[in-house]
Amino acid sequence: MLTPLAPDLWELNAPMTVIGMALGHRMTIARLPEGSLWLHSPVAHSPALATELAKLGPVAHIVAPNAMHDTHLESWFAACPTAQFHGAKGFAKFRPDLKFTATLSDATPPGWSATFDQLMLRGMPRLNEVVFLHRASRTLILTDLVFNLSADMPLLSRVLLRINGCYDCLAVSRLLKTTIKDRTALRTSLDRMLAWDFDRVVVSHGRNLESGAKDALRSALAFL
């Protein structure tokens, strides 16, 4: 069920369709130095998944990395009452029913500062997406900033993704571009992110880039 990406780093892919587009949904799991788990953008909770995770360690931190990634969170709140839940800035406005432990920012929490760097992308207040660098594996973990979907998908999805400008390529969707309110602030954030030392990019929707990711990402973001 879980696929290794690097030492102490795994992924899990699940189906997901949004507005007719078969986007898929990737959850990223990291094991922290003390042995507990950090979950990024969780897929639906299930007993089978809980069993797989328990083999790796106890779930300590669950991250909702932008203010729109809330689909499966309720089940995790119910299943992991001792975990800490970290939500993007502004999440409470849209989901006041979810009581987060902390709000994500540029400041890396002590619980995972030995493993990750993080940065909140300014200029997109509807999302306030926070990006993460898994330093040991030189892996950048993104959510909705870019898609990298393949051509192997249903016809309707292919049509809609062409319209959305992110068919069969690493690209920023037209839908996400509509959330940009301050291009200068976003460009400044992206330049900080691109200065990090990474070679792999993990995306929530589509194919990961296993190497050469920085140049590909820089090209995808060149419209700003």
Is residue 54 in a domain? yes
Residue 21 has pLDDT above 70, yes or no: no
Task: From 24, 12, 14, select the one nearest 157 (Cα to Cα).
Answer: 24
Is residue 110 in a domain? no
State the average pLDDT over residues 8-12.
98
Residue 76 binned pLDDT confidence (cut-offs 50, 70, 90): very high
Mean pLDDT of the chain, nearest integer: 91
Q: pLDDT of 28-64, one tens digit each? A: 999 999 999 999 999 999 999 999 999 999 999 999 9
Is residue 147 in a domain? yes
**Predicted pLDDT at 132:** 98
**Predicted pLDDT at 39:** 98
**Predicted pLDDT at 16:** 67
- Determine what percent of the chain is predicted with pLDDT higher than 90: 73
Element at 55 (helix H, strand E): helix 47-56
Is residue 205 in a domain? yes
Is residue 189 in a domain? yes
Tally the domains of the chain: 1
Q: Give the CATH number of the domain where residue 9 resides.
A: 3.60.15.10
Is residue 20 in a domain? yes
Is residue 129 in a domain? yes
**Predicted pLDDT at 17:** 67
DSSP string covering 60-91, please? EEEEE-STT--TTHHHHHHH-TTSEEEE-TTH
Q: For the whole prediction, is pTM greater than 0.75?
A: yes
Domain membership of residue 80 as a residue range: 3-105+115-220
Q: What are phi and psi of 130, to 5 degrees?
A: -110, 130
Tokens encoding 44: 């639906």
State the average pLDDT over residues 178-190.
97
Residue 93 binned pLDDT confidence (cut-offs 50, 70, 90): confident
Crossing angle for the helix pair 183-194 and 213-220, nearest 10 degrees? 170
Is residue 166 in a domain? yes
